[in-house]
Amino acid sequence: MIELVFYISIGFILYAAFNALSFAALNRRNSDKLWFAALAICVGFYQYFTLQYFVSPDIEGSVLALRFQNLFLQICIPLFCAYTAACCQQTRYPRMPYVVVLLLLALMPFNFIMPFGLRYETLEGLRTFTIWGKEVSVLKGNISPISYIQYVICFAVLVWVSLQFKHLIKHSRATTYIACVASLLLVALVSAILIESGHLDFFYLSGFACILLMIQASISQAAERRSNNRKLGITSLKLDQELRRSSAHKTRSNQLVQVVEQSPNAIVICENGGTVTSMNQAGIDFWGGRLDQSNINLLNELAVTYGGFNLRPHAISAMGHLTLPPIKSNKLPNTINQYLPSNITLEFDIYTTVDLNNEIDLIVIYSRDVTEEYFSQQAFEHLARSVSYSSDSSFFDGLVSHLSALVGASAAFVGKITSNKQQIETVSLMVNGKITRNVTYDLNGTPSLKVITDRECHFAQGIQAAFPEDATLRELNIESYVGVPLFDKESEIIGILTILDIKPIVETPHLIHILNILAARASAEIQRQTAETRMNRMAYEDHLTGLPNRARANEHLASLLKTIRSTPQTATLLNANIDHFKMINDELGHSTGDQIINAISIKMRELFPPSVFISRYGGDELLFISMNTSQTAVELAHEVLRAFHQPISIGEHVVDVSATIGIVQLSQHTQSSLAAIRQSELALYHAKDNVRGSFYEYEDSLESEAKNNLIIQTLLKQAITNNELEVHYQPQVNANGKLFGAEALVRWPNSPQGPISPAVFVPIAEQSGLIHKLGDWVFERCIEQLTVWHNNNQFDGHLSINVSAWQFALPGFVERTTERIKRSNLPISYFCIELTETGLLSDIGDTVNKLKQLRTFGLKIALDDFGTGYSSLAYLQQLPLDILKIDKLFVDELETNATSSLASTMISMSHQMKLDVVAEGVETAQQVDALEALKCDIYQGYHFAKPMPAVEFIEWTHRYTTPLNQPDSSRSK
């Protein structure tokens, strides 16, 4: 069995050697194939003597076989290095193979000089063992030191081979394969040492490891043969295609010769140097003779005339073709001019052709008579300059100037038909070479009317006799007239274009054509300017009032600030906002609101001079900008307020309006228009917070306040998210000293800025929109606390929860509120919704509807701050309420007037409406006595208890037993 394995391996190795030799014979450049063949032959001999070594029956035969096996091993090692270098092409440590050869040549004599060969220094005999059922024997003895040197050389070679293929492994599967073979050879080397030292009973593996290399090489050579065959097939196919292309090229060449000969264009063919070699019949007719018989170098002649053009054949070929500008025949050299008619204009097109080697072989020159085209082109270029001006009045000035110069006319103009259709208004008028002032004249009795009615008018002469009523014709001594109409896109006549002259004008189709082209351009420009004017009005004018809008105001303000920075001037900016305009819209309708805005705008334009810039900056916001140094900002503000306070009659309604104004003084220090607007808005908001219908002048502290408000807004948002706020509870007690209920009040005691009052952060929440998140947070905390009290039986009454007007106005407020209460599973009697008077009266219809739904659900409704709004008594009876809360303002009056008529009226009216009355802000016993005398029902204030956290509130309810007019020791402000 073992002999069969070895002989099969030897046969395959020799086959691989023969295959490599045959491949190398076909391609002499494949040196790696030759090295591989030599290596394979040596490996084959190595395998053969390895087999003889194992099967030899005696020591002498084994020693001899081992000597030859070692000899071929020493030959294989440098061949393996050479093959590796050929495969890698660029080797690392290139001197390594030479060192290996020298070392192995030095070792070879020892293989035959030493008595037992290079491997063993002394022998003890044969060591016999069985492999695959076959008894084999190997020498047994001491390994010689020289043998170890040879093993080191082999190991170094394998390491060197691995280094060569390391950088190629990722690029080639074959190199990866060879590197694996090197690794297997390293394993075989180790096994050989073990076999010779007597530690391993097996045969040498080096030859079998090389078989893997032979397999890879055979596969690679087979693939390379297939690749070469495929390339050879492709090359053959390309040659066949080239032959067919050449044949087709010859056929096309013959066809092109016929096309050139029969072409109506004048074609001159030159050799690549420029000398004329042939012409078609059209070329002979054009030139009046045969240039090809006069040895004329046409390309050189043209190069002399067109000195600024590169007429070298390669330059023309790079461009594809070259078209030379038109030229008069008398400017050409006499050598070719003599063939041409006199005073014509020519144009040349030059092309190049290439042969099969892509080399320039011919130059083809087309010649054309462009006399008429050139004349027309010059005319249109002259006219084009007339319409190249910018799109404004200079456009029409350029048009009439160049038109007049082109035809040599005394006068020309462009005119628009006025809106009454009875007159012409010139937009540009040129007389005797000068642009003059535009005029407006009547159409009747003028040739312009004929242009409009007949859509053209041409009088070569005698125009004054035809229109004797036209005084202008007589004044300018006009003899001839040509006019064409200007049409818009609907084919309606919008104006005329006219030329006039003191001498006859000969009408030609060319002249009328030019006039029509210019008329179309003039018409387009008139329409463009009209559309631009309309768009500017749309972009910069308020559609309702006709006043400048926000964009125009910003531009005007920016321009004014630029002027102020360059000159020592100041200006005043007033930002006027109509008070309660939303309520006017809601009560009277948006149409009436628009009429009020329009009436105010008309009034302002009548009252103030044009020097005061007035703009509708927003829906209910007007800007006033003035540079009048004789009038102060305050005086102007008073004047504006007086104008607003005048009643306005709109149909059946007489409306009293007022406005609140923010004032800003514009100076060199004003940063920008947007900064000025912002400052005016800050002043406006401050004025509104104080007294509506007044004004306030901007000061730097407002900016600081706004920045601080922004900081508080940011901190408040974080506080809501992080549950940093607290809910405190202030008791409400009745006349019998019994707890009636409590009001939930939000507090912010631990902000980064320290405690912040609700009077500060609640308005900021309302302005920024955070009021919705804040209101939801308070409602949820109240539900949580009521749940605790309910489970511990600690609370008997209702809890008033404040709802902002912004929350109440949201669609779905009723549904969200009732759903929250349902989910809490708490008695509905615990809940009281508390709203402010101004929040309820913004939309009375929607308010009544929502309140009815809430009361139907079972909620109590409390009206807070009663008496601080307007029209309160008129609306009170419409509102479905349960509790009326008298504002602290009226309670404080009881200190000086115990029988305040206002407080008395409110309490009496509430009792008649069967409402509970809660007096807010009760702080003294004197106030308690006065309220009790007025039969007030419920009391709330610091006289009884301050707002307290939940734990303190419950403690307070347990110890509250004192009479109303004697505060408990725990009650303090």
Q: What is the DSSP string of 837-888?
A: HHHHTTSHHHHHHHHHHHHHHT-EEEEEEETSSSSHHHHHTTS--SEEEE-H
Task: Note the residue count of the chain.
Answer: 973
Query: 211 — phi, psi (to 5°)?
Result: -60, -35
What pLDDT is recorded for position 28?
58
What pLDDT is recorded for position 970?
44
User: 969: closest CA among 958, 956, 954, 953?
Assistant: 956
Identify the DSSP state of 798. E
User: 164: closest CA among 150, 151, 182, 189?
Assistant: 182
Q: Please, are residues 941 and 921 in contact by the beta-carbon 8 Å criterion?
A: yes
d(CA 162, CA 91): 11
Cα angle at 127 between 122 and 133, to 5 degrees? 155
User: Where are any strands of DSSP class E within 657-751?
Assistant: 659-666, 695-697, 726-734, 739-751
> And the tokens for 326?
């038109």
The sign of the torsion formed by the CA atoms of 378, 382, 388, 391 equals: negative
> And the tokens for 168?
């190629």
d(CA 314, CA 317): 5
Q: Please, are residues 202 and 191 in contact by the beta-carbon 8 Å criterion?
A: yes
What pLDDT is recorded for position 335?
83
What pLDDT is recorded for position 171?
46
Q: Is 810 helix (H, G, I), strand (E, B) or coil?
A: coil
> And the tokens for 195?
């076999």
User: 53: closest CA among 38, 79, 72, 39?
Assistant: 72
Q: Which residues contact 358 (CB under 8 A, 6 or more apart)?
A: none
Query: 151 — phi, psi (to 5°)?
Result: -65, -40
What pLDDT is recorded for position 651?
79
Residue with tokens 């060449």: 253
CB atoms within 10 A of CB 500: 25
Q: Is 467 helix (H, G, I), strand (E, B) or coil?
A: coil
d(CA 790, CA 810): 30
Q: Is 323 helix (H, G, I), strand (E, B) or coil?
A: strand
d(CA 379, CA 508): 14
Query: 742 — phi, psi (to 5°)?
Result: -150, 160
Burial class (CB in 10 A: 0-12, 13-18, 19+), 925: middle
Query: Strand 938-939 to strand 916-919: parallel, antiparallel, or no bridges (unpaired)?
Result: parallel
CB atoms within 10 A of CB 442: 14
The sign of the torsion formed by the CA atoms of 50, 56, 62, 67 equals: negative
Q: In 3-state terms, the chain is what percent helix, strand and coil (to 5)?
A: 55, 20, 25
d(CA 201, CA 208): 17
User: 615: closest CA among 545, 705, 670?
Assistant: 545
What pLDDT is recorded for position 815?
95
Separate counts of helices (H) and strands (E) for the chain: 34, 31
Which parts of the chain register pLDDT below 50? 170-171, 173, 375, 870-871, 961-965, 969-973
Distances, alpha carbon 11 to alpha carbons 5, 79, 80, 206, 211, in Å: 10, 20, 20, 16, 10
pLDDT tens readout for residues 754-769: 999 998 999 899 888 8
- CA-atom Rg of the chain in angstroms: 56
User: 759: closest CA among 746, 772, 750, 768?
Assistant: 746
Q: Which residues contact 780 (CB under 8 A, 6 or more apart)?
A: 820
Query: 221 — phi, psi (to 5°)?
Result: -70, -35
User: Where are any strands of DSSP class E within 542-589?
Assistant: 571-578
Q: Please, are residues 19 and 218 in contact by the beta-carbon 8 Å criterion?
A: yes
